[in-house]
Amino acid sequence: MDEPNEADLARHLHVLRSAVVLGAQATAARASKLERKHHALFMRLRDRRDDYLRFVTNPAVPFDNNPAERTIRMPKLRMPPAACGP
């Protein structure tokens, strides 16, 4: 896989940062339950940006976690409904 173009990467990271800042400002009042959830998401994206985007800078990191999800899927599906949580 090719390395990402530095200029493109910088532009996309700037757009993402801008979206997170705008989203956090738009939901700062946290007036409703949905706004609180959205605001929490924007704060996680702001605070853990490097973790969420590790796949961009490290080619060894997959961009999704499907193999990990597949590993736990069948045991989780076989659990009794009360043990699965809400």
What one-character-per-residue DSSP string does 11-72 give? HHHHHHHHHHHHHHHHTTT--SHHHHHHHHHHHHHHHTHHHHTHHHH-TTS-SS-HHHHHHH
Q: Is residue 1 part of a domain?
A: no
Answer whether residue 18 shows pLDDT above 90: yes
Q: Residue 19: inside a domain, yes or no?
A: yes
For residues 42 and 27, the answer to whether their CB atoms sit within 8 Å is yes
Of the two residues 12 and 72, the one the predictor is more confident about is 12
The residue range of the domain holding 51 is 6-84
Query: Is position 48 within any domain?
Result: yes
- pLDDT value at 63 more than 70: yes
Name the more confident of 62 and 81. 62
Rg for the chain, CA atoms, rounded = 18
Query: Would 63 be classed as within a structural domain?
Result: yes
Within a domain: 73: yes
pLDDT for 20: 96
Instruction: Give yes or no for a contact between 40 and 46, defined as CB atoms under 8 angstroms apart.
Output: no
Question: Which pTM was predicted?
Answer: 0.65
The predicted structure's pLDDT at residue 11: 95
pLDDT of res. 86: 56
Q: Is residue 72 part of a domain?
A: yes
For residue 14, being part of any structural domain is answered with yes
Domain count, the chain: 1
55 neighbors 63 (Cβ within 8 angstroms): yes
pLDDT higher than threshold 60 for residue 12? yes
Task: Answer yes or no: is 32 within a domain.
Answer: yes
Q: What is the mean pLDDT of the chain?
A: 84
Structure tokens belonging to residue 85? 């949580």
